[in-house]
Structure 1
Amino acid sequence: MGASVEVFSGGTAVITGAGAGIGAGLGRHAALSLGMRVVLADVDVDAEAVEETCAGIVREGGRASAAVVDVSDAEAVQGLADRVVEEFGPVRMLVNNAGVQQFGYLWDVPVSGWERVVSVNVNGVFHGVRAFMPHLLAQSEPAWVLNLASIGAVRAWPLQTPYIMSKHAVLALTECLHQEVALAGGSHVRVSAVLPGAVASRIFDDARGVDGGDRGAAEAEREAMFRVHERAISPEEAAETIFRQAADGEFYIVTQPESVLGAMRDRAEQLVARRAPAPARSRFSE
Structure 2
Amino acid sequence: MTAAELFGGGIAVITGAGAGIGAGLARQASRLGMTVVLVDIDAGAVAALRDELRAAGGTAIDKVCDVRDAEAVQALAAAVHDDLGPVRLLVNNAGVEQFGYLWDTPVDNWRRVVDVNINGVYHGIRAFLPHMLASDTPAWVWNLSSIGGVAVVPLQAPYIMSKHAVLALTECLHLEVQAAGHADHVHVQAVLPGAVVSNIFESAGGVDGGDTDAAESQRAAMLDIKAAAMDPLAAAKVVFDQAAEGRFYLLTQPDYVSSAMIERARVLTSQEAPRLRTERRFDPSRS
Equivalent residue, structure 1, for 2:109: 113
Equivalent residue, structure 1, for 2:64: 68
Q: Which amino acid aligns with 2:134?
A: A
Equivalent residue, structure 1, for 2:177: 181
Quick check: 1:151–1:284 contact (8 Å CA) kept in 2? no
Equivalent residue, structure 1, for 2:20: 21
What is the deviation of 1:240? 0.2
Q: Which amino acid aligns with 1:276?
A: A
What is the deviation of 1:283? 5.1
Q: Which amino acid aligns with 1:138?
A: A
1:219 and 2:242 matched? no
1:85 and 2:85 matched? no
What value does the CA root-mean-square deviation take over the aligned residues? 1.0
Q: State the alpha-carbon separation in 2 of the partners of residues 122 and 283 from structure 1.
A: 25
Equivalent residue, structure 2, for 1:127: 123
Q: State the alpha-carbon separation in 2 of the partners of residues 189 and 284 from structure 1.
A: 33
Equivalent residue, structure 2, for 1:268: 265
Residues 83 and 282 from structure 1, CA distance in 2 versus in 1: closer, same or farther, beyond 3 angstroms? Answer: farther
Equivalent residue, structure 1, for 2:7: 8
What is the deviation of 1:261? 0.3
Q: 2:199 aligns with which of 197, 202, 209?
A: 202
| Partner SS, residue 99 of structure 1 | coil
Structural mapping, 1:137-156, within 5 Å: 137-156=133-152
Q: Which runs of 5+ in 2 are unaligned?
A: none
Q: State the alpha-carbon separation in 2 of the partners of residues 211 and 241 from structure 1.
A: 39
Equivalent residue, structure 2, for 1:252: 249
Q: State the alpha-carbon separation in 2 of the partners of residues 251 and 196 from structure 1.
A: 13
Q: Percent identity?
A: 60
Equivalent residue, structure 1, for 2:90: 94
Q: Which amino acid aligns with 1:200?
A: V
For residues 130-166 of structure 1, what are the alpha-carbon distances to aligned partners after superposition, in whole Å with 9 as ceiling and x for unaligned? 0011000000110000000000000000000000000
Q: State the alpha-carbon separation in 1 of the partners of residues 281 and 65 from structure 2.
A: 30
What is the deviation of 1:259? 1.0
Q: Which runs of 5+ in 1 are unaligned?
A: none
Quick check: 1:100–1:163 contact (8 Å CA) kept in 2? yes
Q: State the alpha-carbon separation in 2 of the partners of residues 243 and 72 from structure 1.
A: 26
What is the deviation of 1:180? 0.3
What is the deviation of 1:284? 2.6
What is the deviation of 1:278? 1.1
TM-score for the superposition, normalised by structure 1: 0.97
Which runs of structure 1 show a deviation greater than 6 angstroms over 4 or more consecutive aligned residues? none
| Partner SS, residue 158 of structure 2 | helix
| Partner SS, residue 28 of structure 1 | helix
Q: State the alpha-carbon separation in 1 of the partners of residues 128 and 73 from structure 2.
A: 9
For residues 84-111 of structure 1, what are the alpha-carbon distances to aligned partners after superposition, in whole Å with 9 as ceiling and x for unaligned? 0101111000000000000000000000
What is the deviation of 1:114? 0.3
| Partner SS, residue 112 of structure 2 | helix
Equivalent residue, structure 1, for 2:168: 172
Provide the aligned length of Structure 1 versus Structure 2. Answer: 282
Quick check: 1:137–1:189 contact (8 Å CA) kept in 2? yes
For residues 221-257 of structure 1, what are the alpha-carbon distances to aligned partners after superposition, in whole Å with 9 as ceiling and x for unaligned? 0000000112101000010001111111110000101
Q: State the alpha-carbon separation in 2 of the partners of residues 256 and 60 from structure 1.
A: 27
Q: Which amino acid aligns with 1:72?
A: R
Q: Which amino acid aligns with 1:239?
A: A
TM-score for the superposition, normalised by structure 2: 0.97
Equivalent residue, structure 2, for 1:36: 34
